Structure 1
Amino acid sequence: MIRISLCMIVKNEEKVLDRCLASVFDLMDEIIIVDTGSTDRTKEIAGKYTGRIYDFAWCDDFSKARNFAFEKAACDYIYSADADEVLDEENHEKFRLLKENLMPEVEIVQMYYGNQLANGTVYNFDRELRPKLFKRLRNFVWTEPVHETVRLLPLVYDSEIEITHKPEHNHGDRDITIFEQLLARGEALSKRLTDFYARELFVAGTKEQLIHAKDYFISIVKDSETDADRLKTALAVVVRSCFEAGDVLTMYQYAMKDAASEASSEVCCILGEYYQNRQDYEEAILWFYNAAYEQQSILNIRYQRKIPLEGLIACYHALSMSEQEAYYQKELSCIEPG
């Protein structure tokens, strides 16, 4: 049977930490908690489960904190968890069986991450596989009988274990602040981080944060090396930023750039909201309908159904068109909460 180190980074998690640790502690052979500056009872609660509690001076870098935690691990495998995760009874049993039967050749075990849409996260799906269990030491292996080569890709096992994500609040403001600090220091954001920055802005960004992001995303639009996916992401943010700033001409300029290659649901919704505010309800209906039924969301799935349907309902209500209003109310009621 394999041995597992649980590694966690935490800060002010007194409301959820006990729930998380209680659901997994008996599956773990050691528990390592790295605290990044708690001012509540987080370390006291962690102390009920382990004496391996370490302080880490927060430096706006989650990777550095997680690497510090991983360095303390001594078991065969490392399980990485967040305090707002829970393993229910059924999946606890699946995890126990995995621990008893996992082949030592496996280097990464993926587990399902569930309950995403219920909590306003940046993900557009409710359930996804994520790497959660990692072999601490990797053995390099030669493959092929001739022209041999070292296998570089890890051996990954996709399990049926599902972890329930139950955050107490959205972390968007914290993450947006980190993005702003990175850019202020002149650090380049990868394509992946740019996408997450845009998603955070569309989920939790304030008016000020959206306006602040405008120049960065305009620079992406103007970069001739920008690929099509990144261009549409940047255009959506620029259109939203200009809308919030009241810069209608620039908003429309970039919205038409997006529409030239099938406008995203996000851009359609922003145009719908603009015309709704002007009480041009017929034009607003056109854009909200396109967002809901003709186009696809790229950053926030709510812009593809929930938000435009709410816009359609409001516009038809303003026009005293009760039959159409009732139709879209029914459509909205069929959408899962989230």
Structure 2
Amino acid sequence: MLLSACLIVRNEELTLSKCLDSLTDVVDEIVLVDTGSTDSTVSIAESYGARVFHYDWDDNFANARNYSLDQAQGDFVLVIDGDEYLDASQRTGLRSFLQTTDAEGIIVSLQNYNGSPPRIVPAVPVSLVRVFRRGHHFQGAIHEQILDSILETGKSLVKYNLTIHHVGYLTEIVHSRNKISRNMKILDEEEVSSEKQIFHDTNKMMEFIRADDFEKCLSLARETYTRLKRQKPESWSHIEARAFIIYIIALKETGNKKEALEISREAFHSFPNYIEIAYRFGESLLGVGKLDEAVKQFNYCRDLGEPNENWLDTQTGFGSYKAAARLAEAWGKLGDDVLARTWYLTAAYENPAVQDSLLPLLYLLQQEDNAAYAGKLESLFSDPMSILLYAEASSILGLPQAPRLLSLVDEDLRHSAYYQRALMVQKMTESGEEAFTSEHYDSGYANYLVGLHLLNRGDETAAQSAFVKSGPAGEQLFRVWTEASQNQLMQCDLQPYIFDLIAMRAENVLARLLPHARDLDEIWLYVKYSPLSPVLTSIDWDGLTGLQCEQNSTRLFRQKNWESAADWLEKAMVHEPTVSKVLIECDIALAHSNKLHVFSVLRQGLLFFPDSEVLKIITQNLGINPESLTKAELYLAGDGEMNPFDAYRKSVLTMPLNVQLAQLHERAGVLTQFIKEQAESQNVNAMRKYIEELQNIITFLRTSLDTEIEAASMTDQVYSYYYRLSVNWFLEPNKVLEDYDDAVAFWESWAQTWKKVPSGIRG
């Protein structure tokens, strides 16, 4: 007998038939060990001719597995579960492969699925041994392993192209079988050796995540991290990588953004080619507002791409559509709507069912009147979930295709919040107020949406009545509304309500609640790229973030209060540089007819954001070519004075080369001191003139190098670093004090070095 399939099962009637169907004509026998089913599992197995055995469950998967292996008669064993099935297109060649191989164990792919119908999310396939020669035994009470037993023989492992699909992590199946509490009980009771402790901990942390208990997950993750740090990093494997990933997720979910950045940066340095770690690092950068770094990181993720196979159980998309959606988010917050639209479009093409990308994308296409793109987009939406999401977004934006798309939504999805929300919007569009006064709604969610509309209209009594009918969600929102009205310091999370607020055009409710939102950063783009975007500039923000300062500056500029707009722009400069700040500063400069300042700001903006499409478009519209704009033109335009660096350079060029270089580096150090003094005095314009002179010196030094020589090339990289630093100072003056000591020490030390070089050499 060639091949035995061995299963351990309990209450698998929902999925067992599909599993056993996939084994037909592949295995010679089916050995099924039942551990206490109370449904029709056993009778289903018997109908397929399985040899059924009963085993008293002892909270140890390895024991049950090994009992099934002891009953097998084939030369090889295929281990499979009742919620798994063999890929139909790959299973047929397994028998002929086993007849010719000398391998002791066969590595196959396990394709896990997460989420809940209709939104099922495939993970990246995991490599593991599921086929092996009879005679081996499992170890481990849970997430049992066979690999050690095979490796002890010293014989070979080979990879075979076979995928086993696993649906047991779908939400309904996890809850129906009470898997979380069962697994936690086993993990709590299992005794493990020190070398298996981190693997054991990661299994336990994953159960906490499935139970949405992120605080307990975080506590264990910190303990595991302490254990992990006792090891040498060069000994770390995919198990330690998994521990890092779970730690980062727990930190993010519990709001520990700064710590998440520290841990994800460390993880990325240790595992730069693990796509999920690279992606989580990008997420952490985004979470603390380091948008420019986040852009670079998500571009890196896309360069890595999707792994074909993994030793980690990770979702798909980190190297493709998820990274694209995050790039859209980063550019959207930076203020480049053109690049945001491009990346949202990329995400939609790579995965049309990305919910968070669709509404912003359609909004941006609508703003640009890109009918051609919209037509191409519709051809992407073929699966039921993507059609539903497209119909909902179209309804919210009032697009003409919305009624037709709603009629195409699958009957099984019409109970979902997406459909009910879209349907209510459509009724509101067609019937106006009658949709809320003439109809009686039985659905709790429909009453909740009615309550939102009434609250936005100012009818609190009627709104409260509708919210009571809707159930806990509506009552909670009304409590949040009431507390926000009475307590200026209260904080709330708006993410659970944001799509409902946008769909119902509840701008008054949003304007009241938005300043109280703890998760303002997470929901900002949902509002910005929606019909409620004017709310962002209608609020008098506290100015706690760069985005808030920018909105205040924009609002005041539109009111032609240019002095106050400039004040808020200066406050915004305390935060990370953005394209928005560059655009606002250019607008204020143009309002004062100061085109020279516009040239200067655009040039620095393009140096810092060379990929920004918006800055390129603005530059072209103003008839400016920053690359051909010389430093002399910047200094000479307007006041007739000579470029101070040109005068300084001419005097320096008469000196010997070593003296030239010493003088230039010394001058750079002096300029750095001037820059610091002006930054401390908050004299931004004077500071920027010194920065531009410093940039001229660095440019001159770089052009004098022969980068074909290795030492000169390395020197050029150093100069490039300090040039980049100066651009950052121009756009974010508070960084000067942070970087000053290092910068001035560099220029002064190099000046002293060149002074020690023997004289006599001329340039």
TM-score normalized with structure 2 length: 0.34
Paired position in structure 1 for 2:281:
267
Query: Residue in 1 aligned with 2:73?
Result: 74
Q: 1:184 to 1:243 in 2, by over 3 A?
A: same
Give the counterpart of 1:294 among 264, 289, 300: 300
What corresponds to 2:23 in structure 1? 24
Distance change in 2, residues 1:111/1:225 (3 Å): closer
Equivalence for 1:144:
none
The question of whether the paired residues in 1 share the 8 Å contact of 2:265 and 2:281 is answered with no
Pair 1:299–1:164, CA change in 2 (3 A): closer
Equivalent AA in structure 2 for residue 13 of structure 1 = E
Superposed displacement of residue 114, structure 1: 6.0
Q: Does the C-alpha gap of structure 1 residues 136 and 184 become closer, same or farther in structure 2, counting only changes over 3 Å?
A: closer
What is the match of residue 152 of structure 1? 153
Give 1:186 shift: 7.3
Is 1:329 matched up with 2:328?
Answer: no
Could you tell me which residue of structure 1 aligns to residue 325 of structure 2? 310
What is the aligned-residue identity percentage? Answer: 17
Q: Which position in structure 2 is the counterpart of 1:141?
A: none
What is the RMSD of the two structures over their aligned residues, measured on CA atoms?
4.1
Deviates more, 1:63-72 or 1:234-243: 234-243
Post-superposition offset of 1:46? 0.5
- In structure 2, relative to structure 1, the CA distance for the partners of 1:12 and 1:291 (3 Å cut) is farther
Task: Give 1:294's aligned amino acid.
Answer: Y
The answer (yes or no) to whether the contact 1:6–1:32 under 8 Å persists in 2 is yes
Report what 2:108 is aligned to. Answer: 112
| Higher-Rg member (1/2) | 2
Deviation, structure 1 residue 289: 2.3
Q: Shift of residue 10 of structure 1? A: 1.9
Match of 2:252 in 1: 243
Structure 2 residue ranges without an equivalent (≥5): 115-119, 137-151, 307-311, 354-763
Whole-angstrom distance in 2 between the partners of 1:291 and 1:159:
34
For 2:230, the equivalent position in structure 1 comes to 225
Q: Distance in 2 between matches of 1:226 and 1:332?
A: 39
- Cα contact 2:108–2:130 (8 A) shared by 1: no
Report if the CA contact (8 A) 1:111-1:131 is conserved: yes
Q: How many angstroms does 1:266 deviate by?
A: 1.2
In the alignment, is residue 211 of structure 1 matched against residue 215 of structure 2?
Answer: yes
| Contact 1:268 1:291 (8 Å CA) reproduced | yes
Q: CA deviation at 1:73?
A: 1.6
Map Cα deviations across residues 243-273 of structure 1 (whole Å, 9 max, x no partner): 322345644554565577677421331342x
For 1:211, the aligned partner's letter is E
In the alignment, residue 325 of structure 1 is paired with which amino acid? A
Q: 1:269, 1:299 → 2: CA distance? A: 19
Which has a greater percent of helix?
Answer: 2
Which residue number in structure 2 is paired with residue 163 of structure 1?
163
Deviations 1:288-317 (A, max 9, x none): 424422367987454454434323334545
Q: Deviations over 1:149-190 (max 9, x none)?
A: xx9313445445x23415264377877656644664474444
Matches within 5 A, 1:57-72: 57-72=56-71
Alpha carbons of structure 1 residues 56 and 240: separation in structure 2 relative to 1, 3 Å: same
Query: Gaps spanning 5+ residues in structure 1: where?
Result: 139-150, 276-282
Conserved 8 A contact 1:36-1:57: yes
1:66 Cα deviation from its structure 2 partner = 1.0
What is the deviation of 1:28? 3.1
Tell me if structure 1 keeps the 8 A contact 2:112–2:167: no
Structure 1 pair 177–132 and aligned structure 2 pair: CA distance change class (3 A): same
Give the SS at the match of 1:47: helix
Query: What is the rounded CA distance, in whole Å, between the counterparts of 2:2 and 2:187 in structure 1?
Result: 41
Residue 280 of structure 1 corresponds to none
Q: 1:89 to 1:215 in 2, by over 3 A?
A: closer
Q: 1:78-113, CA deviations, whole angstroms, 9 ceiling, x for partnerless residues?
A: 222233212526632x134346x346xx35352532
Query: What CA distance in whole angstroms lies between the structure 2 residues aligned with 1:258 and 1:98?
Result: 39
- State how far apart, in whole Å, the 2-side matches of 1:337 and 1:41 are: 39
1:88 maps to 88
In 1: Cα distance, 2:51 partner to 2:40 partner: 16
Checking the alignment, whether the CA contact within 8 Å between 2:187 and 2:204 is kept in structure 1 is: no
- Larger % of strand: which? 1
Cα distance in 2 for partners of 1:79, 1:231 equals: 28
SS at match of 2:37: coil
Q: Decide whether aligned partners of structure 1 residues 238 and 51 sit closer, same or farther in structure 2, where only a CA change above 3 A counts.
A: closer
Say whether the 8 Å CA contact 2:187–2:200 is kept in structure 1. Answer: no
Quote the Cα distance in structure 2 between the aligned partners of 1:85 and 1:257. 38
Q: Which stretch has the larger CA shift, 314-323 or 168-177?
A: 168-177
Higher RCO (CA < 8 A, seq sep 6+): 1
Report the CA distance shift for 1:226/1:234 in structure 2 as closer, same or farther (over 3 A). Answer: farther
Assess, with a 3 A threshold, how the Cα gap between structure 1 residues 5 and 114 changes in structure 2: closer, same or farther. closer
Cα distance in 2 for partners of 1:96, 1:260 equals 43
Identify if the C-alpha distance between structure 1 residues 166 and 315 changes in structure 2 by more than 3 Å, giving closer, same or farther. same
Going from structure 1 to structure 2, the CA distance change for 1:131 and 1:222 (only over 3 Å counts) comes to closer
Normalised TM-score (structure 1): 0.70
- Secondary structure of the 1:33 match is strand
Distance 2:69 2:264 in 1: 45
**Residues 184-237 of structure 1 deviation map (CA, whole Å, 9 limit, x = unaligned):** 447444444455566x479x64541x3212222212333442343466654443
